[in-house]
Amino acid sequence: MDEETEAGSGRLLINSLGNLTDVDPTPRIWIKPESASTPWANVTIQCLSINSLGSTFELLRDGKPFASLPILDPIVMFPLGPVTADNKGTYQCHIREKTSWTATSAPVEVTGTEPLPAPSITAEPGPWILQGVKTELHCQGTLLGMTFDLYQEGEPEPVASSLPPQAEAIFLIKSPGNYTCRYRAPTAAPRVGSAPSQPLHFVVPGKGRARERGSGPKTHTRARELLSKPSCSWAGSSPKACEELRQGLKGSHRKRYRGTRGSKASGYLGGSLGASSPLRLPAPLHRHISLPA
């Protein structure tokens, strides 16, 4: 049986093999509309407790306490009802533990307007296409029950669509180019959908330099060559971080490369309730990769 012991703001999970795993007790949050075709007609805020020993969920609106409920199940529901001027705002939740609060969840916006808030976009292990590496584009929304569409620059229609059980769709990327994503109500009418995500440019290393397009991030086609070098100074001040990234491209870790203004949101998306948060790229790489020519 797994055991838990507190470790600063996080927690060390002692698994059945006796290994220590640093897990994050920060809760997850989504907007659950009663109907996807009329998303603001009746809304519930859904918070998920992960790796927490706390007893109370508190919902924040625009940074101030809005409501609180005891944690009787991992998922706690905060009904808002129809969206009005009295309950519009940015919502987050956190958990009261023994002597302190956990970190607050990522924010979700209850606007009552359309288009719906834009999703964030990330790439794992990065925005490059390498032989033998599965390149994934993650499109993260905030409303449950939505269909996600993937767009590639130059194509008038979506190149892929997905109706995931949670608020994130995962698409495999096999061709270079600029990609964006949106989410929408699954029904054909009325047409209710989000603003587009920021673009993310995928490249094939060795096929020429990647160029910055629009407001998308810069990427670099020398990723494979430089990752194979012994020096890690370009990845930041931590050689360990560079080594983790190199190993990540070999498949031992999963990293996310975010769009230009990608949200920090990261929910419970197909993993176990005990899963730790994904490792992030070092700070200089989290925004763009800027490498010597």
Q: How many residues does the chain have?
A: 293
DSSP structural state of residue 113: S
| 142-153 burial code (b ≥16 CB/10 A, e <16) | bbbbbbbbbbbe
Work out the average pLDDT over 67-76: 93
Answer yes or no: do 95 and 159 share one domain.
no
Residue 159 lies in a domain: yes
Q: What's the mean per-residue pLDDT of the chain?
A: 75
Instruction: Look at residue 230 and tell me if it is in a domain.
Output: no
pLDDT for the residue numbered 54: 84
What percentage of residues in the chain have a pLDDT greater than 70? 62
pLDDT of residue 269 exceeding 60, the answer is: no
* pLDDT tens figures, 140-195: 999 999 999 999 999 999 999 999 999 999 999 999 999 999 999 997 666 899 99
- Do 105 and 144 fall into the same domain? no
The domain total for the chain is: 2
Q: The domain containing residue 50 runs over which residues?
A: 3-110
pTM equals 0.66
Is 81 within a domain? yes
69 & 170 share domain: no
- What pLDDT sits at residue 98? 85
AA letter at 175: S
Q: The CATH number of the domain where 171 resides is what? A: 2.60.40.10
* 215 pLDDT above the threshold of 60: no
Taking residue 160's Cβ as centre, other Cβ atoms within 10 Å add up to 16
Is residue 246, in this structure, part of any structural domain at all? Answer: no
Regarding predicted confidence, which is higher, 176 or 254? 176
Check whether residue 55 and residue 180 sit in a common domain: no
What does the angle CA 154 – CA 150 – CA 26 come to, to the nearest 5 degrees? 140
Q: Is residue 208 part of a domain?
A: yes
How many whole angstroms separate alpha carbon 178 and alpha carbon 214?
Answer: 10
What does the pLDDT read at residue 55?
Answer: 87
* Beta strands 160-162 and 168-172, pairing class: unpaired
Query: For residues 249 and 40, which has the higher predicted lDDT (pLDDT)?
Result: 40
Distance, CA of 147 to CA of 204 (rounded, Å): 29
Residues 55 and 75 in one domain: yes
User: In this structure, what is the dihedral angle of CA atoms 286, 279, 276, 94, given to the nearest 10 degrees?
Assistant: -20
- My answer on whether 92 and 129 are in the same domain is no
